[in-house]
Amino acid sequence: MRQFLRLLKILFTIWRFGLLRIVRDSLKPGLIKVILTALAWITPGSYTRGQSLRLALEALGPIFVKFGQVLSTRRDLLPTDIADELAKLQDQVPPFSEEKSLSLVEASLGKKISEVFISFDRTPTASASVAQVHFAVLKGTQKYPEWEGRQVAVKVLRPGILSVIESDLALLKVLAGLVEKLWRDGKRLKPRENVEEFDTYLHDELDLMREASNASQLRRNFEGSKKLMIPEMYWDLCGLNVMVMERMYGIPISKLDQLKAAGIDLKKLAADGVEIFFTQVFQDGFFHADMHPGNIFVSVAPETFGRYIALDFGIVGALSDSDKNYLAQNFLAFFNRNYRRVAELHIESGWVPKETRVEELEGAVRAVCEPYFDRPLKEISLGIVLMRLFQASRRFNVEIQPQLTLLQKTLLNIEGLGRQLDPDMDLWKTAKPVLERWVDQQIGIRGFIDRLKDEAPQWAKLVPTIPRLIAKWLENHHEKSEDNIQELMLKLLNEQKQTRKLIWGSILFLGGLISGTLFTLTWLG
C-alpha cells in the first residue's frame, strides 16, 4: 500500500510540474499523444522544460535529485536550458528552515551555538538533497585551545529524509523484481542486487559519522599529495546528524571563466583529475563516488595553487583486490588494443560463462571499441561505449556486476568534467601511465618486494618456530611410520594364517580324495 501511494505521488508530481508536455512532444501522433495533450492542458502553473524537470526532481526527493545531478554533469547529452536548470540541483536545492537547522546542531552538540562557535552563519551556503552547509568560526576549548578562531563548515542532515528515501527504495525494489521477471535481460542485469547496493550507499550517506570517516580515509590516502586536498574533521563535534569540518576555500570547478582569470591551467587540471580518479580506484580501491561539480573546487591560494578540493563524502566506492586486478588489466588491455586479453579476462573473472569462445568475444569488443581510439575526449563518449558494450554483452550473457555500477557512474561524471576542462584531452594517453605504474606495483618486481615487506612481520614470527615445527613433523611422521609398520605386520600375520589354513585344507582334501579313490579301486578289484 505504501509503495502504491508513493507511485501515485510520483505520477501526480509529473503532472503537477508539466513533465507530461515533455513526454508528449517526444511522441508520434496517436491516441496516447492526444490524451497527454489533454492532461498537459490542465496542468497548474507554467514552467520551461528545464524548470519542470528540476522542480519535479526536487519535489520527489533525494533519489531523484541524485539522478538529476548525474544528468547535470553530461552537458554533451542535454540541451543547454535543461543542463543549466539541473546544475542547480548540485548545491542549490531549497534549504530547510534556519530554526530547524540550529536546533539540530545544538541537539547534536549538547550545547548552545554560542558556547561552541564565535560566529555561526544562519543562512546555509549550500543546500543539497540530503543536507545543507553553514559556515562558522570555532571557539577554543580547554582540550583544544588551538581551535580558537578556526573557520569551519557545519553540515546538517535534512530532517525527515529517512522516511522519504525508504519509500522510494521500497518502490525501486518492487520495480526491480518486476524487471527481473518480465524482461529477458532482467536476471543478467541483476536489478535487485543493484538496488541493494544503492540502498547501502544511501543509508551510509544518512550517517554523517560514516561520512566523516570516509573523508578521513581519503585524506590519509592523499596525504602529501600535490593534486588533491581533503578537509580535516573535528571528531569531537561530529555526530549522526551534524558534521563539523575544516572550511575549504576555492573556485567551483564549473566556474571556468573564474578559473581562467585566476591563471589555472585547465589542461593540467583535467589531466590531474584523471590521475586522481585512477589512483583512487586502482591504488587505494577506495574512491569518491559523488564527484559532480558541486562537490569539487580548485584552490587558488599561493601555497596550494591549482589543487583539487573534494567535498561531500557520503557516497564512496570500495573494490576488492580481485576486482581491482581484473579492472586494471581490462583497462590496460583496452588501451593497448589487446582485445583478446580483454576477452580472456572476462572469462577468467567469471563475468561471462566459461564455455564462451574467446575469438567471438574478442571480435565483438573490437567492433565496439576500435572506432574510438586516437580521438580527443570531445569526439568520444564513454557513456555510448558502455551502452554499446552492454548491447554486445547480451549475446554472451555477460552478467552486470553490482559492485562496479557505482564505478561506472563515477567514470561518467569524470568524463563529463573532463569535457568541460579540456575537450581535446587524449584520455587514453593520460590514463595509461597511471595504470601501467599500478600494474607494475602490483605484479612487477616492485609489487613483489612490497608484498614481501607486508608479509615480513608474519615471517618474523614464523621463522624462529620453523625448526620446532620440522622436528614435530618428523616425530609425527616417525610415529605414523611405526604405526604403519605394525599395521603391515599384523596384515602379514593374518595373511600367513589364512595361507596355512588354505594349504592344510588343500592337503586334507587331496588326501581324502586319493584315499577314497584307492579304496574304490581295491573294492572293485
Q: Which residues are catalytic?
A: 290
62 near 165, Cβ under 8 Å? yes
Secondary structure of 72-121 in HEC code, one letter for each residue? HCCCCCCCHHHHHHHHCCCCECCCCCHHHHHHHHHHHHCCCHHHHEEEEC
CB 341 within 8 A of CB 333: yes
Whether the CB-CB separation of 333 and 223 falls below 8 Å is answered with: no
Instruction: Say if residues 406 and 280 touch (Cβ distance below 8 Å).
Output: no
For 164, half-sphere exposure in the C-beta direction (CA atoms, 13 angstrom radius) is: 17
**CA-CA-CA-CA torsion sign (49, 53, 54, 59):** positive
CB environment 457-485: b (16+ within 10 A), e (fewer): eeeeeeeeeeeeeeeeeeeeeeeeeeeee
Grid cell locating 510: 587331496
Contact yes or no for 231/246 (Cβ under 8 A): yes
CB 68 within 8 A of CB 86: yes
* CB contact at 8 A, 128 and 117: no
Single-letter amino acid, residue 519:
F
Q: What are the b/e assignments for 20-31, b being 16+ CB within 10 Å?
A: bbbebeeeeeee
Non-local (6+) Cβ contacts of 457 within 8 A are: none
Residue 5: CA count within 13 A, CB half-sphere: 4
Residue 523 corresponds to which cell in the numbers above?
A: 573294492
How does DSSP assign 360-378, residue by residue?
Answer: HHHHHHHHHHGGGTT--GG
d(CA 298, CA 268): 12
